Amino acid sequence: MSFPPPTGVEDRLRRESRPMYNLKNKNILVTGGAGFVGGHLVEELINQKTNVVVADIFFNKKSYLLCDRSIDKKCVLIKQDICNYKKLLIIIKKYKIEFIFHLAAQALVEEAYKNPKHTLDNNILSTINVLEAVRLNPQIKGLVVASSDKAYGKLKVAKYTEDYPLAGDHPYDTSKSVTDLLSTTYYKTYKIPVVVTRFGNIYGEGDLNFSRIIPGIMKSIIKNEQLKIRSNGKYIRDYLYVKDVVSGYLLLAKNINKVKGEAFNFGSDETLNVLDLIKIVEKNLSKKIKYRILNTAKNEIPYQSLDYSKIKKTLGWKPKENLKSSAEKIFSWYKIMKDNN
């Protein structure tokens, strides 16, 4: 006598047999699309012939999206805080949105320490609004939510896997944990087509937050300034190139019927402390970086590294770039930006 497979297995087998979602000509909303990662995502969505609507609270003329690339001429830009639920619904109705990438967030740990209410309000409420909008608008066929390695909190393991519990000792960590949990809640309760991404430290052209290590290094070289390191220089992170991040987002979107309800780590093979990272950049740019360790960072997690074997096994994703292959083009972007200003 044979028994039917468990419900979880049935669901997985059913999803694996579903066709890929075609993004071409779809109306796609990118929240936070004027930001560092958002600009790269919008660029690639345009390349793939989608109709992109960007909702953001701030459009910086120096950003990757707007600086001398004409990307903004090929999409709709809307200055709007999506914490305003009614305004979000108006955007979705007006532009007949069919897919959403939710990247909007207050993304700085240091800012979260200084202004926890703003961070929690922004990161949690915006996510609730997007999830609720997807629940009430069945024409939206998929939602990719950007979470973070910080959603795990501080774990004493070499590599974080997706089955570790979410935690958070500090405001930013907690805001990402809640974002993650809300997405899972809406999938399990309402079966909305949502998938969650957890990335390590993302770097690349267009990051204008110079308190982060890679932009800080580029600025210090170009301006011949001393680099100020907020940490003790020994914090360890995965470093992931922004184009690899975008390829991960798009891979999940195209396979939304297969991956909905899941969370995926996107890590790298470069798990480095800050001082080792500086040495790699120095070698590849043939530049000497002057730095001073301030050791003033608060609420930072000393060690984090993501196991990305799940996304590799499920969809074949793995990082294609590293600091050695990307350092020169990143440096060139910042140099051109300086020369044009």
Give 257-266 pLDDT, tens digit per residue.
999 999 999 9
Residue 170 lies in a domain: yes
Please report whether residue 288 resides in a domain. Answer: no
Residue 159 within any structural domain of the chain: yes
Select from 54, 133, 141 the least CA-distant residue to 92.
Answer: 133
DSSP labels, 286-326: T----EEE-----S--SB--B--HHHHHHH-------HHHH
pLDDT higher than 60, residue 3 = no
Q: Which of 270, 285, 286, 273 has the alpha carbon at shortest distance from 319?
A: 270
Q: What is the CATH number of the domain that holds 162?
A: 3.40.50.720
Q: 3-state DSSP helix/strand/coil percent for the chain, to nearest 5?
A: 45, 15, 40
Residues with catalytic function = 172
Predicted structure pTM score: 0.93
Compute the average pLDDT of residues 175-196: 97
Specify the pLDDT at position 10. Answer: 45
Q: Which domain holds residue 155?
A: 7-203+241-266+305-312
Determine contact, residues 99/137, Cβ cutoff 8 Å: no
The answer to whether residue 109 is domain-embedded is yes
- What is the dihedral sign for C-alpha 133, 138, 140, 144? positive
Residue 209, pLDDT > 50, answer yes
Mean pLDDT of 33-41: 97
Banded pLDDT at 69 (limits 50, 70, 90): low
What confidence score (pLDDT) does residue 299 get?
Answer: 79
pLDDT band per the 50, 70, 90 thresholds, residue 181: very high
Q: Please state, in angstroms and rounded to a whole number, the distance separating the CA atoms of residues 146 and 119.
A: 15
pLDDT tens sequence across 70-125: 888 899 999 999 999 999 999 999 999 999 999 999 988 889 999 999 999 999 99
Question: For position 110, what pLDDT does the model report?
Answer: 86
Question: Does the residue 253 lie in any domain?
Answer: yes
Evaluate whether residue 178 is within a structural domain: yes
Per-residue pLDDT at 4: 43
| Amino acid identity, position 260 | K
Contact 301, 152 (CB under 8 A): no
